[in-house]
Amino acid sequence: MFPNLFKARMNKLLGKENKVFLRYCQKPLRITIRINKLKVENENRVIEGLKRYGWKLERIPFLEGAYEVKGLKKEEAIGNTLEFFLGYYYVQEIASMLPPLILNPEPGERVLDLCASPGSKTTQLAMIMENKGLIIANDVTLDRLKILKYNLEKYGVLNAVTTLHDGRFFWKKGLEFDKILVDAPCSCEGVIRKNYQVLSRWSIGRIKELSRLQKGLIFSAFKCLKEGGILVYSTCTLAPEENEEVVSFLLEKFGNATLEKIEIPGFKMREGIPEWEGKRFGEEVKKCARIYPQDNNTEAFFIAKVRKL
Residues with catalytic roles: 236
- How far apart, in whole angstroms, are the C-alpha atoms of residue 190 and residue 292? 8
Per DSSP, the three-state class of 113 is strand
- How far apart, in whole angstroms, are the C-alpha atoms of residue 237 and residue 191? 8
- How far apart, in whole angstroms, are the C-alpha atoms of residue 295 and residue 191? 15
Q: Residues 281, 274: contact at Cβ < 8 Å?
A: yes
Q: Residues 170, 224: contact at Cβ < 8 Å?
A: yes
- How far apart, in whole angstroms, are the C-alpha atoms of residue 25 and residue 216? 30
Per DSSP, the three-state class of 167 is helix
- How far apart, in whole angstroms, are the C-alpha atoms of residue 91 and residue 275? 36
From the centroid of its chain, how far is CA 146? 20
* Dihedral (Cα; 169, 172, 173, 179), 10-degree rounding: 70
DSSP-derived pairing of the beta strands 89-91 and 31-35: antiparallel
Nearest alpha carbon to residue 233 among 307, 308, 302: 302
- How far apart, in whole angstroms, are the C-alpha atoms of residue 30 and residue 240? 26
Backbone φ and ψ of 154, nearest 5°: -60, -40
- How far apart, in whole angstroms, are the C-alpha atoms of residue 72 and residue 86? 20
- How far apart, in whole angstroms, are the C-alpha atoms of residue 26 and residue 263? 28
DSSP-derived pairing of the beta strands 110-113 and 177-183: parallel
